[in-house]
Amino acid sequence: MARYTGSVCRICRREGDQLFLKGARCFTEKCAFKRRATVPGQHGPEQMRKKPTGYEVQLRAKQKVRKTYGILESQFRKYYEAATRKDGNTGVNLLHQIETRLDNVAYRMGFGLSRAQTRMWVTQGHFNVNGKACNIPSYQLRPGDTISIRENSKVKPQIKDALEITSSREASSWLAVDREKLSGTFTALPERSQLDPKIQEHLIIEFYSR
């Protein structure tokens, strides 16, 4: 499977926004984007001075969301195609597709410092869904599903450290989290107002509708 192996801080600089890809480090002064927000590369500053074309604006909007959630292009396009087949607003349907992934919901519950870390732990088999082991990061959750950290995983030092750091993180309003039992319930599909306001899903739809 294709995957990005370079510096994730370059991704934030390229997209011109903090995507919080490195967990706790992104909230400190060590964050590379805070220290240098220019586009990476020799001609980065020159690119920032140019007026972007309509295509580039749409591309960057799509890439920013795809990189934030750590989704490959082929998979992201499948989410878009699935969203077009559903009733309702295509943009909101697309956001529901990516927000209800197991790795993303576990991250929003505070069970990982970053989506990348949470995705790794899912593949390593540290999570249960409705009491059964699940190691598929892209597993689509439904309202009422419960996520929990497996008993033998709760004592692992790296997981305990991450949970301690995220203990003060407020879970999304569409999730119910029990920090003592290290479990949470996906209560309902989020409303658009409960999701990131900086996401411009209409530009993503325009990009794929060309």
| Residue 72 sits in the same domain as residue 122 | no
pLDDT at residue 31 tops 60: yes
Tell whether 36 is covered by a domain. yes
Average pLDDT of the residues of the chain: 85
Residue 191 — very low, low, confident or very high, per pLDDT cuts 50/70/90? very high
Question: Is the pTM for the entire model greater than 0.85?
Answer: no
Q: What 3-state DSSP class applies to 147?
A: strand
With tokens 């597993």, the residue in question is: 139
With tokens 């996520």, the residue in question is: 147
CATH of the domain at 147: 3.10.290.10
| Residue 93 sits in the same domain as residue 170 | no
Q: 2 vs 70, 74, 77, 80, 204, CA distance in Å?
A: 12, 10, 15, 20, 22
Tell whether 75 is covered by a domain. yes
CATH of the domain at 207: 1.10.1050.10
Tell whether 157 is covered by a domain. yes
Its domain, for residue 164, covers 101-186
121 touches 113 (CB < 8 A): no
| Residue 210 sits in the same domain as residue 170 | no
Residue type, 89: N
CA angle 196, 198, 21 (to 5 degrees): 70
pLDDT digits (tens, 9 = 90+) for 140-171: 999 999 999 999 999 899 898 888 988 888 88
**Based on the structure, what is the number of domains in the chain?**
3
Q: Which pLDDT value is given to residue 120?
A: 94
| Residue 77 sits in the same domain as residue 143 | no
pLDDT digits (tens, 9 = 90+) for 181-190: 999 999 999 9
Tell whether 202 is covered by a domain. yes
